[in-house]
């Protein structure tokens, strides 16, 4: 699998130590496969055990979260925080609430976050957390009690200078508000300990839009530099209908794309006239309903059960924005057969390794998640800066910085791919560029013995 013996050894050790953690091993393998030329050029990486260290979280906390439901019954969930790497700044990364959350998922997300945060150019280490709690169907009071109980343990592990969580799947402004309130209640401290906060208590303008907008800024730059093209006039398919998907749709449409399909975990809608985002926002952001309800407002659209079918919808640009491994080799084959031109990963690791390889081999432009969805955490970094300065920047100011950061990430990854001898392979480029900054900081900081 690896040409280089050091990479083979490191991956073998991780595979033994993390047996039973498939998502984590998938993420590690993808990064290590990108580092062949780097380890050849930099023997000090092996001497100082950088790869062994970078693949092992600095700290992994697992805890019980007990809370009382509306019927007065005690419920128990499992909470996690993985503090993966603090070489370039305090741990930073979201919290995910979803029944599929386990140690493997949290570790893969924390590992990816380390390199993604490095690519933003901002001083943030990598972390991730969450719980197997399922927010679907829970009342507002149940969500509040869960968040308060979760923070009652989490607060001792986080802080504005140590670890700054934010949202992810199942965690939006409402949950961040409950988490922040409980942190403040327990510690008596008013600080930028979380990002994605409401605007009335320290949140940043444009954080809500940032991941989706940022994805489109990077894809637009990739299309422009690598194909002399852009979103204008392109048929686009976006999976998911949560935070990332909704704002990717908004920006793609404003850049002239025609978005024809979106989905949730039950199925997808196809609207040949172009998705009406006001309807999707009403369903998802206001009513917290299901995507099939779109047909009540737009009877001319179609609804199909099952979410993978969305990749059979013909399109020029595909933006997977739902969850990990949602786009497999079969889906990639369908996209290629329909002439897809570019894929931009809005979700974390939405394409399987096989799907990524197939798309790249077919000459499809491919923007990997670490680069493409870094706009969310980059804007969280800007929220931290504003909190420290006790200032709020305008929407236009934050959006302009976001755009600059995303175009910078594209060029950084592109240049790194050229230096590695595989010009245009942004998977390799993003992994190498993200890795080198973290590795150099680890080398500079030494190893304790």
Ligand X SMILES: NC(=O)C1=CN([C@@H]2O[C@H](COP(=O)(O)OP(=O)(O)OC[C@H]3O[C@@H](n4cnc5c(N)ncnc54)[C@H](O)[C@@H]3O)[C@@H](O)[C@H]2O)C=CC1
List of residues contacting ligand AKG (CB under 6 A): 92-94, 113, 116, 166, 168, 195, 348, 373, 376-377, 380
Instruction: Name the residue number minimizing CB distance to ligand AKG.
Output: 94
As a whole number of angstroms, the distance between CA 154 and CA 159 comes to: 10
Q: Is 167 annotated as a binding residue?
A: yes
Burial class (CB in 10 A: 0-12, 13-18, 19+), 313: buried
The per-residue b/e assignment along 348-384, b for 16 or more CB within 10 angstroms, e otherwise, is bbbbbbebbebbbeeebbbbbbbbbbbbbbbbbbbbb
Q: Among 57, 346, 368, 429, indicate the residue that binds ligand X (CB under 6 A).
A: 346
Partner that binds at residue 93, options ligand X, ligand AKG, none, CB closer than 5 to 8 Å by kind:
ligand AKG
Residue 34 contacts ligand X per CB under 6 A:
no
**Per rule CB under 6 A, is residue 283 in the interface with ligand X?**
no
Q: Name which of 267, 268, 286 is nearest 278 in CA terms.
A: 286
118 binds ligand X (CB under 6 A): no
Longest dimension (CA), the chain: 67
Among 77, 83, 118, 323, binds ligand X (CB under 6 A): 323
Cα–Cα distance measured from residue 258 to residue 440, given in angstroms and rounded to the nearest whole number: 43
> Does residue 264 touch ligand X according to CB under 6 A?
yes
Distance CA(72)–CA(66), nearest Å, equals 12
How many CB atoms within 10 Å of residue 277? 17
Exposure of 121 by Cβ count < 10 A (0-12 exposed, 13-18 middle, 19+ buried)? middle
Query: Which of 83, 263, 360, 412 is in the footprint of ligand X by CB under 6 A?
Result: 263
Residue 195 near which of ligand X, ligand AKG, none (CB within 5-8 Å, type-dependent): ligand AKG
Q: Is 168 in the site for ligand X (CB under 6 A)?
A: yes
Partner whose footprint covers residue 346, from ligand AKG, ligand X, none (CB < 5 to 8 Å by kind): ligand X
Residues acting as catalytic residues: 128
Contacting positions for ligand X (CB under 6 A): 167-170, 211, 239-245, 263-265, 307, 321-323, 326, 346-348, 373, 376
Which parts are annotated binding residues? 92, 113, 116, 167, 211, 243, 380
Which parts are annotated binding residues for substrate? 92, 113, 116, 167, 380
């Amino acid at each position: 699998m690896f040409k280089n013996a050091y990479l083979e050894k490191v991956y073998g050790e991780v595979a033994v130590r993390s047996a039973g953690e498939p998502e984590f091993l998938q993420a590690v393998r993808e990064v290590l496969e990108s580092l062949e030329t780097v380890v050849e050029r930099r023997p000090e990486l092996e001497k100082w055990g950088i790869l062994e260290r970078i693949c092992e979280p600095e700290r992994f906390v697992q805890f019980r979260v007990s809370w009382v439901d509306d019927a007065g019954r005690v419920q128990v969930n499992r909470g996690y925080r993985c503090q993966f790497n603090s070489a370039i700044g305090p741990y930073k990364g979201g919290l995910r609430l979803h029944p599929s959350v386990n140690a493997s998922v949290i570790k893969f997300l924390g590992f990816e976050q380390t390199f993604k945060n490095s690519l933003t150019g901002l001083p943030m280490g990598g972390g991730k957390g969450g719980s197997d709690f399922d927010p679907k169907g829970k009342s507002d009071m149940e969500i509040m009690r869960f968040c308060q109980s979760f923070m009652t343990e989490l607060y001792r592990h986080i802080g504005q200078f140590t670890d700054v969580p934010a949202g992810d799947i199942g965690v939006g402004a409402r949950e961040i508000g409950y988490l922040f309130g409980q942190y403040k209640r327990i510690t008596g401290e008013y600080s930028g300990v979380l990002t994605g906060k409401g605007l009335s208590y320290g949140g940043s303008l444009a954080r809500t839009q940032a991941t989706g907008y940022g994805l489109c800024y990077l894809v637009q730059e990739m299309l422009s530099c690598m194909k002399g093209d852009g979103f204008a006039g392109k048929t686009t398919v976006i999976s998911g209908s949560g935070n990332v998907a909704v704002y990717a749709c908004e920006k793609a449409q404003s850049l002239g794309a025609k978005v024809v399909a979106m989905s949730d975990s039950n199925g997808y809608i196809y609207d040949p006239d172009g998705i009406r985002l006001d309807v999707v926002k009403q369903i998802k952001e206001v009513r917290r309903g299901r995507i099939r309800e779109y047909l009540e407002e737009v009877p001319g659209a179609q609804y199909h059960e099952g979410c993978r079918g969305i990749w059979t919808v013909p399109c020029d640009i595909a933006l997977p924005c739902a969850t990990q491994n949602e786009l497999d080799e079969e889906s990639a084959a369908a996209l290629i057969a329909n002439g897809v031109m570019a894929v931009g990963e809005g979700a974390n690791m939405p394409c399987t390794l096989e799907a990524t390889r197939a798309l790249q081999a077919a000459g499809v432009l491919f923007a990997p998640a670490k680069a493409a969805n870094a706009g969310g955490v980059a804007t969280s970094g800007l929220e931290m800066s504003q909190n420290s300065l006790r200032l709020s920047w305008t929407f236009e100011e934050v959006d302009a910085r976001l755009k600059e950061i995303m175009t910078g990430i594209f060029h950084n990854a592109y240049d790194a791919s050229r230096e590695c001898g595989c010009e245009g392979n942004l998977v390799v480029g993003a992994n190498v560029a993200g890795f080198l900054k973290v590795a150099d900081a680890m080398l500079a900081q030494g190893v304790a013995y």
